[in-house]
Amino acid sequence: MSDDVAAPTEFEIPEGYALLDWRRGFGRQIGPLYRRAANGSYAMGFRVEEHHTNGMSNAHGGMLMSFADMAWGHIVSVEQSSYWVTVRLTLDFLASAHLGDWVEGAGEVLSREDGLYVVRGRIWSADRQLITGSGVFKAIQKREPRPGEKAYVAKS
Amino acid sequence: MSDDVAAPTEFEIPEGYALLDWRRGFGRQIGPLYRRAANGSYAMGFRVEEHHTNGMSNAHGGMLMSFADMAWGHIVSVEQSSYWVTVRLTLDFLASAHLGDWVEGAGEVLSREDGLYVVRGRIWSADRQLITGSGVFKAIQKREPRPGEKAYVAKS
Per-10-residue mean pLDDT of chain B, 156 residues long, equals 54 88 86 87 95 92 95 95 94 96 97 96 97 97 90 75
Mean pLDDT for all residues in chain A? 90
Q: Is B65 within 8 Å of A66 when comparing Cβ atoms?
A: yes
Nearest to A93 among B51, B67, B88 (CB): B88
Q: Are B155 and B145 in contact (CB under 8 A)?
A: yes
Distances (CA, A) of A95 to A1, A131, B139: 46, 7, 15
DSSP 8-state code for residue B58: B
- Helical packing angle, A61-80 and B61-80, nearest 10°: 160
Which residues is B148 bridged to in the sheet?
none
CA-to-CA distance for B80 and B134, rounded, in angstroms? 19
B83-115 burial, b for 16+ CB within 10 Å, e for fewer?
Answer: ebbbbbbbbbbeebbeeebbbbbbbeeeebeee
Query: Percentage of residues in chain A with pLDDT exceeding 90?
Result: 72
Residue of chain B nearest A23, judged by CA positions: B51
With 70 as the cut, is the pLDDT of residue A48 above it?
yes
What integer pLDDT is reported at residue B75 of this predicted model? Answer: 96
What integer pLDDT is reported at residue A2 of this predicted model? Answer: 52
Asked if A88 is an interface residue toward chain B (Cβ–Cβ < 8 A), one would say yes
What integer pLDDT is reported at residue B19 of this predicted model? Answer: 92
Asked if A66 is an interface residue toward chain B (Cβ–Cβ < 8 A), one would say yes
Least Cα distance to B86 among B78, B96, B95, B74 occurs for: B74
Torsion of CA B43, B137, A73, A87, to 10 degrees: -50
Q: Which residues of B touch A130 (CB under 8 A)?
A: none
For residue A31, how many C-alpha atoms fall within 13 Å in the half-sphere facing its CB? 18
A3 alpha carbon, distance to own chain's centre: 35
Q: Which residues of B touch A87 (CB under 8 A)?
A: 92-93
Query: Percentage of residues in chain A with pLDDT exceeding 70?
Result: 92
Q: What is the largest CA-CA distance in chain B?
A: 64
Kindly indicate the confidence band of residue A38, based on its pLDDT and cuts at 50, 70 and 90.
Answer: confident
DSSP state string for chain A: --S-SPPPP-----TT-EE----SHHHHHT---EEEEETTEEEEEEE--GGGB-TTSBBPHHHHHHHHHHHHHHHHHHHH-EEEEEEEEEEEE----BTT-EEEEEEEEEEEETTEEEEEEEEEETTEEEEEEEEEEEEEEE----TTSHHHHHH-
Q: Is B69 within 8 Å of A50 when comparing Cβ atoms?
A: no
| Helix, strand, or coil (residue B71) | helix
With 70 as the cut, is the pLDDT of residue A10 above it?
no
With 90 as the cut, is the pLDDT of residue A4 above it?
no
What integer pLDDT is reported at residue B4 of this predicted model? Answer: 56
> Given CA atoms B63, B68, B70, B71 in this order, what sign does their dihedral have?
positive
Which residues is A137 bridged to in the sheet?
A86, A117
Residue of chain A nearest B88, judged by CA positions: A92
Nearest to B62 among A30, A55, A56 (CB): A30
Contacts of A48 (CB under 8 A, 6+ apart): A58, A59, A97, A98, A99, A100, A101, A102, A103
The complex's ipTM?
A: 0.86
Least Cα distance to B87 among B76, B95, B99 occurs for: B76
Q: Are A81 and A52 in contact (CB under 8 A)?
A: no
Q: Is A92 within 8 Å of B93 when comparing Cβ atoms?
A: no
Q: What is the pLDDT of residues A111-122, one digit of tens each?
A: 999 999 999 999
Least confident of A43-47, A53-57, B63-67, B126-130: A53-57
With 60 as the cut, is the pLDDT of residue A14 above it?
yes
What integer pLDDT is reported at residue B22 of this predicted model? Answer: 80
Least Cα distance to B74 among B155, B152, B148 occurs for: B148
Nearest to A86 among B67, B86, B93 (CB): B93
